[in-house]
Amino acid sequence: MKFCSQCGEAVSERIPAGDNRVRFVCAHCETIHYQNPRIVAGCLVTHEHQVLLCRRAIEPRHGFWTLPAGFMENGETTEQAALRETWEEARARVEAQQLYMLFNLPHINQVYMFFRGQLADMEFAAGEESLEVRLFGESDIPWDQLAFPTISKTLRQYYADIHTREFPVRMLDIPWPPHRRPGSLS
């Protein structure tokens, strides 16, 4: 950030009084510009132990498979965001939705929230951000073509939970990739 969105003057990085983190602060109007993690909301949509996956038509990871998910918009709840993203990417309607997985990804300033729900009907199709949408059984999932670690971890947890028939809400941290740790030369 170089300029203040309130007055247009230059900003600098400093720790404001009463804070403990470096923030962008306007030297002219003293507005503190907070930057906070982005929330990604999505759905693990199921039908008879099959899961609905979308093949991405956009970057990052174009052509790889994912659960329908995307960034939350202002003015919506996390559940509304998950349902909207599921409709936009898979043209699918979901019922009996409940929070299932929460991932903290501090190295990219994101929080992922996946809800688990069932297809309301068998009508689904590729939305604008998807090349195709399909139901997969566990043995058919293209495990080596999943777009993100959060997707594979959610799917593996779901299939483990099927055996116990318990689906508690889980929270996991996805640490900085070992080969790209801050300050690392490798």
Question: What are the pLDDT digits (tens) for 139-168?
Answer: 999 999 999 999 999 999 999 999 999 999
Residue 14: give its domain's CATH number. Answer: 2.20.70.10
104 shares its domain with 137: yes
Same domain, 77 and 167: yes
Q: Does the structure show a pLDDT above 80 at 186? A: no
Confidence grade of residue 180 (pLDDT, cut at 50, 70, 90): low
Number of domains within the chain: 2
105 with 27, same domain: the answer is no
Q: Which domain holds residue 27?
A: 1-35
| Pairing between β-strand 110-119 and β-strand 38-47 as defined by DSSP bridges | parallel
Q: Is 113 exposed, middle or buried (0-12, 13-18, 19+ CB in 10 A)?
A: buried
Task: For 49-85, write each residue's pLDDT tens digit.
Answer: 999 999 999 999 999 999 999 999 999 999 999 999 9
Residue 181 in this model has a pLDDT that exceeds 70 = no
Q: Say whether both 9 and 62 belong to one domain.
A: no
The 10 Å Cβ neighbour count of residue 96 is 10
Q: What is the DSSP string of 41-88?
A: EEEEEEETTEEEEEEESSSSSTT-EE-SEEEPPTT--HHHHHHHHHHH
Cis, peptide link before residue 142, omega less than 30° from 0: no
pTM above 0.75, yes or no: yes
User: Do the bridges between strand 170-173 and strand 94-105 make them parallel or antiparallel, or are there none, so unpaired?
Assistant: parallel
> Please, which pLDDT band fits residue 178 given cuts at 50, 70 and 90?
low
Of 113, 139, 128, residue with least CA distance to 51: 139
**Closest C-alpha among 111, 115, 107, 92 to residue 42:** 115
Tell me the CATH number at 71. Answer: 3.90.79.10
Residue 184 is which amino acid?
S
Q: What is the pLDDT of residue 25?
A: 96
**91-128 pLDDT per residue, tens:** 999 998 999 999 999 999 999 999 999 999 999 999 99
Same domain, residue pair 158 and 130:
yes
Residue showing tokens 């929270």: 171
